């Protein structure tokens, strides 16, 4: 490695000339009206992290119930509610928003744009997500009902009016709001990535992270509608007495399973691909060399996105689809292992024979690889229908998807938090606390979930709230509960670390990791317009090449650039509240039949139309 020719601080640029139509607010009003993708990113990440703690608490509660045989810490109904809310919270309210936080922060910064394509729509997505998550969690407070308890997959007819209480109403309504939010966000990000790249930032000069985020936006835009339809049909069954999932009138519960898993499996890649992007960004920086086979990693991600739409029914091998469908879905599922393997070997190729350093983000990125590989291999076993029939609904499956989603997706997000925290706040996260967090979390995670492979093979089914002592499942379950507590304390240490480091952490500077990609060009935290001048991109690693490659210096223009910036707006919050009112009207009308409270929905609808008119005519 050659010596540094330049540093980022060498670049001298005149301050940009920014003009706003109406300017920005300050204080709390700013957070409510901001169109700034960096602030919305912080809102998403914080909400996601809070829900991660909530979902974790739910897990710890039901782990206490499972710690010993014949326990009566909580009853079956409460247990089902906790499990359902744990999974729904972790998938929709923790990992997805934290990913959305990273996407919001990184997409404009990494491609050299000043904001997303539709800054106000971005704010609308956040508020609608927040309202959806609140509707979902409000179910805990509903008199006489409590949390939805039909499982996060909400299989019909368990969710039908004759079996499920009001919790499921909150569940479908909350998820419908979340799907609207995801759709708006995905459209926004697709347009941003395709249209707003800085000069010279061709598609294949984009960082792998941006490619993975682009792929998942297409997955979100195309995979969410089927489950939205499924949820609407469920809502109609519950509100208006339609017959979609009514077996007595000829309805077929498989309809729900298909609509749900057509969404559900691409959703798995929505959760994991961003983590793969994070790892692909972090490994080269701490191995001090370019990513091995970058183009192969990008195409693997695209391939996973495509094939991800053709594998959903491997969740349904036990539903009796017949040998042809079973064989087809087994084959497509096995095929996905190929691009995934390509990625893993490319990461190993990046690490091979290089000089590694091990700060916390690198530790999380490194441990992602083996943990995800374990989860991937147990997943590949499920591609085989005969094996799947044995493992279906056992703890083996629980172990599998926690290795992919916790050891994979969540560790990837943690790596990203440690890596980009300095850029967002200007302060480094404390590395000692970070390493304690890492080791505790890794140990706790494996203590919890590795024994569950064995439990599953010993016949323990999922979703049971207690088990007899002579089943001999007590030891592994006690381990699981202990591990869950260790993971919980590790996450609290992380929360504490973020708090102290934000208050009085070490100053980060523009480029603390000596990194490659465009976000490290700007100040930490970034300038309000992201960059003081529009960067011109000459390679996949503009910031690295600026520092180390002769002739690839980033040169600032002599005179100030003039930027038009989006102004504050109340409209996103207002329109989002009106959409919430529509949903609340429907829910209240279900809970108090004949009350004319559906009038609220009409009010919300009119409000939405007026709000949209005010929105589109507002000068920005």
**In the complex, what is the shortest distance from the CB of residue 199 to another protein, in angstroms, rounded to a whole number?**
5
Instruction: Name the minimum Å distance from CB 365 to another protein.
Output: 29
Q: Angle at CA 220, nearest 5°, toward 215 and 226? A: 135
In order, the DSSP letters of 430-487 are: PHHHHHHHHHHHHHHHHHHHHHHHHHHHTTPBTT-S---GGG--HHHHHHHHHHHHHH
Q: Look at strands 17-20 and 562-565 and give their pairing.
A: parallel
Minimum CB separation of residue 224 from another protein in Å reads 7
- Give the helix/strand (H/E) hosting 19: strand 17-20
Query: In the complex with another protein, which residue's Cβ is closer, 143 or 593?
Result: 593
| Residues noted as catalytic | 86, 115, 152, 181-182, 265, 267, 269, 280, 314-315, 340, 343, 462
**Tokens found for residue 33:** 């009206």
- Can you give the binding site for another protein, defined by CB under 8 A? 19, 113-115, 117-118, 183, 186-188, 190-191, 194-203, 221-226, 228-230, 232-233, 236, 240-244, 249-252, 255, 259, 262, 536-539, 551-553, 563-564, 566, 609, 612-613, 616-617, 619-620
Please list, residue by residue across 549-585, b when 16 or more beta carbons sit within 10 angstroms of its beta carbon and e when fewer do: beebebebeeeebebebbbbbbbbbbbbbbbbbbbbb
C-alpha 189/C-alpha 231 separation (Å) is 25
Q: Which residues of 6-34 are buried (b: 16+ CB within 10 A; e: fewer)?
A: bebeebebeebeeeeeeebbeeeeeebbb
User: Of 310 and 349, which CB lies nearer to another protein in the complex structure?
Assistant: 310
Determine contact, residues 210/192, Cβ cutoff 8 Å: no
Q: Which is nearer to another protein, 195 or 595 (CB)?
A: 195
Please, what sign has the CA dihedral across residues 156, 158, 160, 166?
negative
Q: How far is the CB of 111 from another protein (least distance, A)?
A: 9
The CB-of-19 to another protein minimum distance in angstroms stands at: 8
Shortest separation between residue 165's beta carbon and another protein, angstroms: 21
Q: Which is nearer to another protein, 154 or 359 (CB)?
A: 154
Query: In this complex, which beta carbon is closest to another protein, that of residue 218 or of residue 414?
Result: 218
CB of 529 to another protein, least distance (A): 10
Nearer Cβ to another protein (253/509): 253
The half-sphere exposure of 548 on its side-chain side, counting CA atoms within 13 A, is 15
Count of residues in the chain:
620
Shortest reach from residue 226's CB to another protein, in Å: 4
- Residue 445: partners with Cβ closer than 8 Å, 6 or more residues away: 371, 402, 406, 407, 483, 487
Give me the residues paired with residue 405 across strands: none
How far is Cα of residue 590 from the mean position of the Cα atoms in its chain?
Answer: 31
Nearer to another protein, 9 or 252 (CB): 252
In the block, residue with structure tokens 């599922």: 333
Query: Can you tell me the distance from the alpha carbon of 450 to that of 463, in angstroms, rounded to the nearest whole number?
Result: 18
To 5 degrees, how large is the angle CA 420–CA 421–CA 424? 90
The residue among 491 and 589 lying less far from another protein, judged by its C-beta, is 589
CA 252 to chain centre: 32
Residue 130, helix vs strand vs coil? helix
Alpha-carbon Rg of the chain, whole angstroms?
A: 25
């Amino acid at each position: 490695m050659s010596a540094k020719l330049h540093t980022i601080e060498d670049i001298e640029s005149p301050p940009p000339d920014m003009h706003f139509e109406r300017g920005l607010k300050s204080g709390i009003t700013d957070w409510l009206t901001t169109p700034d993708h960096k602030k919305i990113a912080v809102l998403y990440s914080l909400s996601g992290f809070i829900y991660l703690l909530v979902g974790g608490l739910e897990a710890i509660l039901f782990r206490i119930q499972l710690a010993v045989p014949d326990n009566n810490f909580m009853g079956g109904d409460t247990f089902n509610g906790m499990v359902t809310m744990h999974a729904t919270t972790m998938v929709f309210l923790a990992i997805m928003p934290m990913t959305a936080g990273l996407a919001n922060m990184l997409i404009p910064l990494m491609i050299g744009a000043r904001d997303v394509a539709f800054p106000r729509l971005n704010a609308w997505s956040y508020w609608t997500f927040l309202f959806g998550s609140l509707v979902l969690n409000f179910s805990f407070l509903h008199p006489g009902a409590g949390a939805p308890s039909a499982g996060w997959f909400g299989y019909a007819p368990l969710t039908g009016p004759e079996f499920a209480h009001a919790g499921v109403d909150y569940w479908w309504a909350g998820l419908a709001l979340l799907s609207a939010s995801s759709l708006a966000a995905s459209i926004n990000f697709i347009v941003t990535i395709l249209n707003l790249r800085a000069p010279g930032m061709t598609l294949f000069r984009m960082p792998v992270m941006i490619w993975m985020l682009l792929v998942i936006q297409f997955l979100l835009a195309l995979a969410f509608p089927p489950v939205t339809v499924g949820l609407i049909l469920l809502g109609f069954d519950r509100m208006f007495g339609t017959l979609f999932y009514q077996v007595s009138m000829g309805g077929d519960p498989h309809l729900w399973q298909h609509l749900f898993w057509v969404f559900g499996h691409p959703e798995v890649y929505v959760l994991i691909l961003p983590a793969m992007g994070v790892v692909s960004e972090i490994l080269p920086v701490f191995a001090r060399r370019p990513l091995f086979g970058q183009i192969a990693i990008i195409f693997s991600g695209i391939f996973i996105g495509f094939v991800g739409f053709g594998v959903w029914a491997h969740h349904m091998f036990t539903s009796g689809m017949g040998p042809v469908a079973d064989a087809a879905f087994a084959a497509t599922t096995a095929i996905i292992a190929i691009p995934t393997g390509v990625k893993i070997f490319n990461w190993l190729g990046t690490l091979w024979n290089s000089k590694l350093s091990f700060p916390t983000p690198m530790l999380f990125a490194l441990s992602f690889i083996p943990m995800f590989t374990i989860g991937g291999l147990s997943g590949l076993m499920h591609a085989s229908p005969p094996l799947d029939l044995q493992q279906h609904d056992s703890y083996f499956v629980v172990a599998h998807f926690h290795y992919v989603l916790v050891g994979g997706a969540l560790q990837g997000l943690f790596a990203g938090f440690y890596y980009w925290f300095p850029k967002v706040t200007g302060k480094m996260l404390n590395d000692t606390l970070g390493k304690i967090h890492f080791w505790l979390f890794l140990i706790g995670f494996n203590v919890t979930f590795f024994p569950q492979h064995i439990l599953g093979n010993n016949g323990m089914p999922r979703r049971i709230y207690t088990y007899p002592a002579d089943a001999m499942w007590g030891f592994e379950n006690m381990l699981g509960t202990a591990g869950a507590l260790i993971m919980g304390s590790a996450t609290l240490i992380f929360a504490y670390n973020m708090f102290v480091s934000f208050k009085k952490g070490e100053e980060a500077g523009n480029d603390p990791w000596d990194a490659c990609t465009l976000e490290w060009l700007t100040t930490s935290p970034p300038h309000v317009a992201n960059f003081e001048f529009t960067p011109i991109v000459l390679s996949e690693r503009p910031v690295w090449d600026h520092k180390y490659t002769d002739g690839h210096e980033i040169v600032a223009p002599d005179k100030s650039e003039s930027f038009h910036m989006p102004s504050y707006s109340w409209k996103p919050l207002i329109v989002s509240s009106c959409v919430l009112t529509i949903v609340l009207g429907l829910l209240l009308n279900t809970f108090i039949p004949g009350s004319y409270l559906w009038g609220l929905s009409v009010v919300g609808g009119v409000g939405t139309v007026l709000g949209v008119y005010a929105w589109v005519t507002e000068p920005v």
